[in-house]
Structure 1
Amino acid sequence: MPAQDNLEPVLTAAEVNSLMATVYPQLNDQFTFYEALDVFPGGCTVRLNAGARHLRPGGTVSGPSLFTLADIGGYVCVLSHAGPDALSVTTNLNINFVRKAEAGPIDGHCRILKLGKSLMVFDIDIVAGPERHTVAHATGTYSIPPKRTPS
């Protein structure tokens, strides 16, 4: 399924990372665990630099860590395409875990399926390991707050 046509980003990956560091500092604290790598028309690529704190027993990256990466992918898409309103929120997120992921770089390839005035629907393919196999796939919806008019 192709992404929605005619979508142009309004922020770069660096600008989104800077915005998230300001409005959501607890995401990474003093580290760079979650980051936007690229923003392109209709999508983005995000990364989880998974370390020991992201592992569950058995050396597998935890589901909540992968879920967070999926949510961050949607957040980066909505910020970079609908505008830098930090009050955009997740209204739905469904994830399927396909295979285990080990520590290391885990990338999320996110695409916008539909961007409207009040909602954005996206999906994300999360890949890891040397072969970059899919470890999870998610779909979600973000609510976009109404544009505020200056008074």
Structure 2
Amino acid sequence: MTVLQMTADELQQFLARDFGQVAEDFTVERADGAGLCLRLRVADRHLRPGGTVSGPAMFGLADVAMYLAILARIGPVALAVTTNCSIDFMRKPVAGRDLLAEARVLKLGRVLAVGDVLIFSEGEGQPVARAGLTYSIPPK
């Protein structure tokens, strides 16, 4: 059984306190032993020409979702950083809907954490993107 060090509310507060520049874009929907669900509140600034959510906005969603999924397990370690990310854009997000990222920590070691993120348009069953990420965890 996975023991969480931070709840969804605590993660949301951490985001607001330490990453205020992007905190308003995201809502932590769920944090539990299975992982984390993060909502991107899609706004005009996230869109590319043609009205679809941009790749950089989806990358940011995947990165923040995995970061928070790791922090849920290790506690508020602001200096954990992304060391690798690979993202596949599989289909166009549905216009006018928020995106939801489902993040899972696959391996949590002392210095590295590895996980994956599936991104969905709200209300849709097929993912629009999939990302694999590795994070470096600073020594205590």
TM-score range, shorter-chain basis? Answer: over 0.9
Cα deviation per residue 1:42-70 (whole Å; 9 max; x = unaligned)?
41111101121111000110000000000
Counterpart-to-counterpart distance in 2, 1:15 and 1:72: 15
Change (3 A) 1:134 1:7: same
Question: What displacement does 1:103 show?
Answer: 3.0
Change (3 A) 1:36 1:47: same
* Structure whose CA Rg is larger: 1
Q: How does 1:1-151 map to 2 (within 5 A)?
A: 6-28=1-23, 32-101=24-93, 102-147=95-140
CA contact (8 A) 1:61 1:103 kept: no
Counterpart-to-counterpart distance in 1, 2:52 and 2:134: 27
Counterpart-to-counterpart distance in 1, 2:115 and 2:71: 13
- TM-score, normalised to structure 2, is 0.94
CA contact (8 A) 1:36 1:47 kept: yes
- TM-score, normalised to structure 1, is 0.87
Question: What displacement does 1:87 show?
Answer: 0.7
Cα deviation per residue 1:58-87 (whole Å; 9 max; x = unaligned)?
011000000000001111111110111111
Amino acid at match of 1:16: L
Aligned to 1:3: none
Question: What displacement does 1:18 show?
Answer: 0.3
Counterpart-to-counterpart distance in 1, 2:2 and 2:34: 5
CA contact (8 A) 2:100 2:122 kept: no
Amino acid at match of 2:84: N
CA contact (8 A) 1:91 1:141 kept: yes
**Structure 1: 4+ residue segments shifted above 2 A:** 129-133
Counterpart-to-counterpart distance in 2, 1:129 and 1:98: 15
Cα deviation per residue 1:13-66 (whole Å; 9 max; x = unaligned)?
1101101111111113xxx31121110114111110112111100011000000
Counterpart-to-counterpart distance in 2, 1:145 and 1:41: 23
CA contact (8 A) 1:35 1:48 kept: yes
* Percent identity of paired positions between Structure 1 and Structure 2: 42
